[in-house]
Amino acid sequence: MKHLFENWRKYINEDRDDGEADFLYHTTYIKNIDNIADNGLEATGESQFGGGYAGHSQGRIFFTEQSGLSYWLSKREMLASNSSDFKEEEDLKWLPVVLRVEREVLEDIVDKEEGLPVDMLGSRDSGHGSWYVEDGVPPEDIEIWTGDGWLSIRDAYEEVFMDKAIENSTYTQDEDEDVGWWEPDFNLFSPFQK
């Protein structure tokens, strides 16, 4: 076990030949698309997940391999459900989206011989490789999954994603009361979903 822990960084930074290693992925929400399109990904001083992640994630931008996306998307869905009751159309901005960046671009941002810093906590919790950078990632290096394919984040607009979210969500109204809610498709902007 000690040997595995000591060599964990080497193991998850190994070159892979399945094509997955070319990109790393980041999850966020529709509500952040316009800001990211303008400014890229920026490290903030706060954690969206709280708990054990609060101090750990300050000033870092996290990425995962393709196989780790389902875990991080489920965390985003849980946070969205806790942050919104989805009673208003505007609440659909809490739908998660997936961004990707070439691994090589991230390695250049870090500019360390040992490669990208490993997110040990995220790797442990998700069971998949997770990494982080502390410097921002410019928008020209970021792509977003549209539900149909990858698009440069600079060509993406929250309004277009919101329109698609509305089209693919169901609005239910309680017959006895004047209360309704949206039932969003949380996998709408999730690549690699079967």
Q: Are 133 and 109 in contact (CB under 8 A)?
A: yes
Q: How many domains, in total, are found in the chain?
A: 1
Asked whether residue 89 is domain-assigned, the answer is yes
pLDDT at 6: 46
pLDDT at 112: 72
Tokens of 41: 């990904």
DSSP state string for 96-146: EEEEEEEHHHHHHHH--TT-SPB-HHHHHHHSS-EEEESS-B-GGG-EEE-
Local structure of residue 149 (DSSP, 8 states)? S
Three-class SS of residue 175?
A: coil
Global pTM?
0.83
Asked whether residue 130 is domain-assigned, the answer is yes
Asked whether residue 16 is domain-assigned, the answer is no
pLDDT at 98: 96
User: Which residues form the domain of 139?
Assistant: 22-183
Asked whether residue 106 is domain-assigned, the answer is yes
Mean pLDDT by 10 residues, the chain (194 residues): 44 46 92 96 68 67 93 89 84 94 92 84 90 93 96 97 94 80 89 74
Q: Are 147 and 161 in contact (CB under 8 A)?
A: no
Asked whether residue 1 is domain-assigned, the answer is no
Asked whether residue 12 is domain-assigned, the answer is no
Using DSSP, how many helices (H) and how many strands (E) does the chain show?
Answer: 8, 8
Asked whether residue 177 is domain-assigned, the answer is yes
Pairing assessment for the beta strands 61-64 and 130-133 based on DSSP bridges:
antiparallel
Asked whether residue 5 is domain-assigned, the answer is no
